[in-house]
Every structure is written in C-alpha cells, then in structure tokens.
A = this chain, B = another copy of it.
Amino acid sequence: MNCNVPTDIQFSFRGFRQRGGSTGPHSDGWGIAFYEGKGCRLFHDDSPSADSPFAHFVEQLPIKSKNVVAHIRRARTGRVCIANTHPFHRELWGRTWVFAHNGQLRGIKRKPLTGFHPIGTTDSEHAFCYILDRVRAELGGARRSSIGRLVHQLGVELAQLGEFNFLLSDARSLFAFCSKKLVYIERKAPFTKAALSDDDFDIDFSQVTTPDDRVVVVATRPLTNNEVWMPFRVGELRVFADGASVASYG
C-alpha cells in the first residue's frame, strides 16, 4: 500500500491474511513493514497468518502509514523460520529498504554478493541483497533519478531465473515488478464501497477518507471483488509515490 496521507491497512490486511492458510496456501509465515517517516515497524511471524493470534492483533492495530509492504509465504527454498520470513529489510543510504517476493529463482545463489549478505537461506533474500549491492555499486552514495530504470533492469535480469514478482521500498517510493502476475488499484475521490474477496466484509471508503486522499494497493490477485484492479504487463516495473503511479518501465 502506498498513500499520500497516513492510512491504516486494516481492511486490506483482513482479507490478505486469509490467504495464509484459509483462502490460499501461503501458510508458512507472514510479515509486514509499516513505514513511519524513515522509521519502520516490522512484524514477522512463522505461523499461518489466517489463524495466528499475532496476525489478528496486527489487524486490529490502528497504525497509519503512507507505505506498507506485507507478505505471506509459501516455503519453497528454505525452512519455515523467522530468518526466512519476508519482508526482508536492510539499511542503505540511511534509509530502511524492505523487500517481498512472490515466485522462485533457480540458481540465484550463484550471483555474487559484495556488501549485503543473507541472514536466512531463501532465494528471495539473496535476490534482495543482490539488488541492493547493484544499486549501491551503480548509483554510489545516494539515490538518483535513474533508480527506477536500474531496478527495472535488475528485475528483468533476475526474472530470467524464474518467477519474480516483487515489492521494494526505500520509505519514499514503492517499486513493484511483475514477472508473471501483479495487479494494482488507485483509489481516490469519489470513494465508494469495497468488498473483500477473501472475507465477508465490506467498507465504505467515502466514510473514512477525505477528498484529497489517494491510496494505491498492489497485490498478486485483487483483494476486492467489486472494483477494477489494473493488471501489470509482464516485465513491467511501476513506481508508486504519494498514492499514485508515477513511473512505468518495460
């Protein structure tokens, strides 16, 4: 989720977490990162999100954030444990970067790493370290306007190894890359009602927003069943900031 004003993610997370063991098979742990300025609240759990008391608690937390990355895991590479739970996080340029991946990358561990190193044993965390190494090596000591193009190139490069849908954020922007499937929705005035796909629950956004609010939600499958979600193109990177899609590559 990426927004122009701090927004809670209770509605979306309520539906999303059902996919971790109830309406979906991604029951090998879950995690969520809520940015607050450059700071970040992180939650990681290795139980299924659908029935974890901890996920239930997080769903109730009225944390408002302009940028949130959440993930539910279906373990393929690496055992079920906290160290292998997304979103992964690292500091670069005095910012917390977080990363969540859907898919599987064969042979990624042969890609050499220089500065960042995996703590767990997943293909995903290795890919994240590789991306940050390359970003630091090619852009130097600070973010540059070419970062979107570089992240897109890295997405295309690594997608040669398998399925590589990912979310990446540096607190300022949300980078979303689609190697196979990814959808997004931009909600803005006039706000309407939305109904979850994964739970019997709806919300009238017009009651909880102001006319200037803008909220983007990105997911592998639509989280609601009565709104139009936009599909990404295969190989496309979109950059979201302040609740809007601000750039697209590929």
Residues of A whose CB lies within 8 Å of any CB of B are 36-46, 54, 57, 61, 81-85, 90-91, 93-96, 115-120
Contact = CB atoms under 8 A, between A and B. Distances in A.
Contacts of A120: 38-39
22 contacts: A36-B81, A36-B82, A36-B83, A37-B81, A38-B119, A39-B44, A39-B81, A39-B82, A39-B83, A39-B120, A40-B83, A41-B44, A42-B42, A42-B44, A90-B91, A91-B116, A91-B117, A94-B117, A94-B118, A94-B119, A95-B119, A96-B119
**What is the oligomeric copy number?**
2
Contacts of A37: 81-83
A93 to B, nearest CB: 6
A39 B37 CA distance: 25
A57 B83 CA distance: 22
A38 B116 CA distance: 15
A245 B81 CA distance: 28
A39 B42 CA distance: 13
Contacts of A41: 43-45, 82
A81 B65 CA distance: 13
